Chain A
Amino acid sequence: MPHAAAWHHVSPPVSRWGDCSMSRYLEILAMQRPFELPNDETDRVVWSMNFAVTTDGPAPTLEDDIGTLLVSAGLAVLGTDTFIGLKAQLPTGDGPYAQILSPSSSSPSETHDGNRYDHPTIQILVRAKDFDPSRLRALSIYNALYGLRNVTV
């Protein structure tokens, strides 16, 4: 006979979805090596790269967290050479300036007991007056972020 004569259920674990104090990222994977786009409106060289991200929880400040990771890697000074979002006002100088965007996302994955893992993408644009600084900064950012796994910001 099954052991079910008198049973009580242990409460299921509370979904971590409500805890937004820290964000955890299972993976930050480059979708491609940085590539060159047409020059921008001020004729600066533009390099672009995209990352597929898997979040363990809501990650409400994803773009800022990416900036924080770059700061930790010594590759960014937020508000000076690195900016968040499309509306950020980039300086008109020679650069290089990085811009962190979140252009798209795919359907989240989930578990039956309420855990959810979002799959946003991150795009980083690097602009500079000259080709070499733009490419160098783009590749440095690519190498720093590529393959980061199980990180908490």
Chain B
Amino acid sequence: MPIIAGHGAQIKVERNPSGSQGIFTLLGNCSADINVPALSRETFEVTDHEGSVAQHLASPVLDTGEVSTTVNFIYDDAGQDVNTGMVALLGANTLHGVNILGPGASGSWIFSGYCTMWSVTFPLKTGQATAEVSWRPTGDMIIDGVTFS
């Protein structure tokens, strides 16, 4: 597959994890970059006195970074609002699934996480109302069908 433009990625959210598990609905109107959770391992130096070259170990624990983006704010959008949307998930502190899809079937990241921020801005002079949204992944991830646990 050749290199691709990044436009057309999708974030899909499991709005009702306690009821209809595993159904992901598009979070529409994403107007900013969409980042997938960064994967990282902490490293520890374990050089001993006999060593002349530094030695390191990578942590067996894989860390996943926060996910954030910006959407055009639509107050009565079911994906955003206080009844069924991100505000509801944030308010209830509900662990839910998130699926990020690259454009043109160029990758899929699925994780469970908590919505940690929903911040609405109404510009004074120009520009549409927007909302910043963030998630903190926790636990296993599925990347292109491969489980990282």
Chain A residues in contact with chain B, CB under 8 A?
Answer: 1-10, 12-13, 26-27, 29, 52, 54, 109-113, 115, 117
List residues 15-31 of chain B with CB under 8 A from any CB of chain A. Answer: 17, 21-26, 28-31
B29 and A3 form a contact (CB under 8 A): no
Q: A2-B142, A112-B10 are in contact. Are A13 and B22 (CB under 8 A)?
A: no
Measured CA separation A1–B17 after assembly (Å): 12
Tell me the residues in window 111-136 of chain B with beta carbons closer than 8 Å to chain A beta carbons: 111-112, 125-126, 128
14 contacts between A and B (CB under 8 A): A4-B22, A9-B26, A27-B126, A54-B126, A110-B31, A111-B28, A111-B29, A111-B72, A112-B10, A112-B30, A112-B103, A113-B28, A113-B30, A115-B72
Contact (Cβ within 8 A) B12 A9: yes
> Are A10 and B8 also in contact (CB < 8 A) when A1-B139, A3-B14, A3-B96 are?
no
Knowing A3-B14, A6-B22, say if A13 contacts B97 (CB, 8 Å): no
CB distance from A142 to the nearest CB of B (A): 17
Question: Across the interface, do A111 and B30 meet the contact criterion of CB distance under 8 Å?
Answer: yes
Minimum C-beta distance from A6 to chain B (A): 5
Which residue, A2, A6, A10, A110, has most C-beta atoms of chain B within 10 A? Answer: A2
User: In the complex, A8→B126 CA distance in Å?
Assistant: 38
Contact B10 A113 (CB under 8 A): yes
On whether the beta carbons of B9 and A1 are closer than 8 Å, the reply is no
Which A residues touch B23, using CB under 8 A?
7-8, 10
Contacting pair B97 A4 (CB below 8 A): yes
Q: Which residue of B lies closest to A5 (CB)?
A: B22
Q: How far is the CA of A111 from the CA of B116 in the complex (A)?
A: 22
**Contact in complex: A113, B99 (CB < 8 Å):** no
For B144, what are the chain A residues with a Cβ–Cβ distance below 8 Å?
A: none
* B110 interface residue per 8 A CB criterion: yes
CB of B34 within 8 A of chain A? yes
Closest B residue to A12 by beta carbon equals B26
Please indicate the chain B residues that have their CB under 8 angstroms from the CB of A10 in the complex.
12, 23-26
- Chain B residues with Cβ below 8 Å from A115 are 29, 72
